[in-house]
Chain A
Amino acid sequence: MRQLYNFAFFDEGSKREIRRAILKGIAIPGYQVPFASREMPIGRGWGTGGLQITLAIIGPDEVLKVIDQGHDGSVNAVNIKKLIVATTGVEITDETARASLIQSRHRIPEVPLTAEQVLVLQVPTPEPLRDIEPRESETRRLHAEADYTGAWLGLFEQVVRYGNMTTGADHPVLVNGRYVMAPSPIPRFDNHKLNNAAHLTLLGAGREKKIYAVPPWTSVVSLDFEDYPFAPETFEGIRCRVCGAQGVYFDELTDPDTGEVFHQCNDTSYCQTRREAQTRREAQT
């Protein structure tokens, strides 16, 4: 292969700079570390933050998985994979358990991650207090003083107006008892997967030029009230139409011919793995 770029696209200096930000983020769980976000060959807002983290930490022996909203084959995931493979030549997989490095847009896979895996999340809005306070200088001060009234106020407003907390995704979490963090917009369903997790989670916001991290075995608590406790989405009585799975995160779809509403696993690789196992079992019997 003729090398048009340095390994993993970046020059070594850039990688070191990003790694330093990552290390600082790991050292201060939940703290947003500013970094010099690079121009990337994909547009800002298309996962440049996550991509820069991935390129900065990827090695030649890595097995990479990229997901976009739970899907391994959607446009964003495919393009990012193409770029990374073209500049590193690493192996690509859809299978969660086989991957050593997983870059994801807005989902954490259904299969629990292990201590050997690193999860990279793409973040559009890293600042959990942005709705309350538009000035960056002020939100930095609020974080420094651990003044998180605003985060709770946003949730209180939802309860007062709509009768319950209405965050669909990006429900703010308190990391390691210190920093309130936006968990990239993962659904509430995935929040508990960050708490005391075996794996390292790195979050990158390219447009906002921030990197932050949740180290392994770190407490991640979703903000809530005594009388309105945090609750993930429930999918009671719902089964995946394809693989029959229960208790996972579902997409709601409509059959274009019959108009019937049905559900399917949001994590396509999880669904497919189950489907293949079922086919094998059927073949044996």
Chain B
Amino acid sequence: MSASKTTAPVTDTGALQTERPILSIESLSCSFGTGCPFCAKPEHELERNVCPRCGTVHALRDVSLEVYPGEIVGIVGESGSGKSTLMRCVSFDQQASSGAVRTALVDEGASNILACSPQQKRAIRNAFFGMVYQNPWLGLRMDFSSLSNIAEQMIAAGCRNVEQMRARGLSLLEKVNIPLSRATDPPRVFSGGMQQRVQIAKALSNNPPILLLDEVTTGLDLSVQATVLDLVLALRRDLDVSMLVVSHDLGVIRMLAQRSAVMLDGRIIERGLTDQILEDPQHRYTQQLVHSLL
């Protein structure tokens, strides 16, 4: 940190306040069910994330999070803690119940992108977000060639030139180490690791400044995991992409993320530098999580 900048106030997370987050999630909530006066009050205890009176599932409760440019932020938590719902809300796949998501890329962060029209949302997602789903079947068209999968977002963004899209697709496939001889094969016939890498190539097609990675390595064997993680780190280094990475695997988070948040029952229960969380967990659940790490 240069001497001139040390006078700037430093937040608890270590990021400079003068720097503006590229993505900020503000008090995001997402519930499934009718809701009732009981569970509407945040101070009332729920049974995990289910309201004991009306049975509404509160998948996300008042979640706030910032991602700064060029930063990788990790989200850990057990299954059912709301990690994927958070990702799905940010990527517009799931409608949030309340809260806001802003990005510095749209209106300088002035407007809540969750309140945009469907067309605007699609344009934002095509231009600024790359989404990689835990299950490649959600993120890819399995019967279309890998090249078409990568071209889809470019077509959506208005490209109508086949050779341009083919060239871009081939260079991305090369980047994710997929032999170009397989470029016209559908992902259906690929191994799980290859499918995941095609998904990453697809997410990168429009050079998005923000990548949302949902359990990218889950279900992959260790050597393939390492390849995918290497790729993610290389992308950050080479393209300076900001990322929000969800995983239940602390090893993945430790390797990728500078800052992390721990989620439990739809809430963020602990946040801070990844090292700090892993070395000195404060919350009882985080302690349990860290100590159960093999």
Taking Cβ atoms with an 8 Å cutoff, the residues of A that contact B are: 132, 141, 145-147, 149, 152-153, 156-157, 159-161, 225-228
| 9 additional contacts (CB under 8 A) given A145-B119, A160-B148, A160-B166 | A141-B118, A146-B119, A156-B155, A156-B162, A157-B144, A160-B151, A160-B162, A225-B161, A227-B163
Query: What 6 A-B pairs are tightest by C-beta distance, nearest first?
Result: A149-B156, A157-B148, A226-B161, A225-B162, A152-B155, A160-B147
> Can you list 12 A-B contacts with CB-CB less than 8 angstroms, sorted by A residue number?
A146-B119, A147-B119, A147-B156, A152-B160, A153-B144, A156-B155, A156-B165, A157-B145, A160-B151, A161-B184, A225-B162, A228-B162
Residues of chain B with a CB closer than 8 A to A159's CB: 162
- Determine if B62 is an interface residue (Cβ-Cβ < 8 Å): no
> Are A156 and B184 in contact, CB atoms less than 8 angstroms apart?
no
Residues of chain B with a CB closer than 8 A to A228's CB: 162
Residue of chain B at shortest CB distance from A151: B155
Residues of chain B with a CB closer than 8 A to A227's CB: 161-163
A149 CA / B157 CA spacing, docked (Å): 9
A228 CA / B163 CA spacing, docked (Å): 9
Given A145-B118, A161-B145, decide whether A156 and B151 contact each other with a Cβ distance below 8 A.
Answer: yes
Question: Interface size bucket, B side?
Answer: 10 to 19
CB distance from A148 to the nearest CB of B (A): 9
A-B contacts, CB under 8 A, total: 48
- Determine if B152 is an interface residue (Cβ-Cβ < 8 Å): yes
Residues of chain B with a CB closer than 8 A to A161's CB: 145, 184
CB distance from A82 to the nearest CB of B (A): 43
Residues of chain A with a CB closer than 8 A to B175's CB: none
Residue of chain A at shortest CB distance from B169: A160
Residue of chain B at shortest CB distance from A158: B148
Given A160-B184, A227-B163, A228-B162, decide whether A149 and B145 contact each other with a Cβ distance below 8 A.
Answer: no
- Determine if B122 is an interface residue (Cβ-Cβ < 8 Å): yes
Residues of chain A with a CB closer than 8 A to B184's CB: 160-161
Given A156-B148, A160-B147, decide whether A149 and B162 contact each other with a Cβ distance below 8 A.
Answer: no
> Are B152 and A149 in contact, CB atoms less than 8 angstroms apart?
yes
Residues of chain A with a CB closer than 8 A to B163's CB: 227
Given A160-B147, A160-B184, decide whether A149 and B155 contact each other with a Cβ distance below 8 A.
Answer: yes
A34 CA / B122 CA spacing, docked (Å): 27
Residues of chain B with a CB closer than 8 A to A156's CB: 148, 151, 155, 162, 165
CB distance from B21 to the nearest CB of A (A): 29
Residue of chain A at shortest CB distance from B165: A156
A147 CA / B121 CA spacing, docked (Å): 12
> Are B148 and A153 in contact, CB atoms less than 8 angstroms apart?
yes
Residues of chain A with a CB closer than 8 A to B151's CB: 153, 156, 160
Given A226-B160, A227-B161, decide whether A147 and B148 contact each other with a Cβ distance below 8 A.
Answer: no
Taking CB atoms and an 8 Å cut-off, the chain B residues in 140-185 that contact chain A are 141, 144-145, 147-148, 151-152, 155-156, 160-163, 165-166, 184
Residues of chain A with a CB closer than 8 A to B148's CB: 153, 156-157, 160
Residue of chain A at shortest CB distance from B119: A145
A167 CA / B148 CA spacing, docked (Å): 17
Residues of chain A with a CB closer than 8 A to B119's CB: 145-147
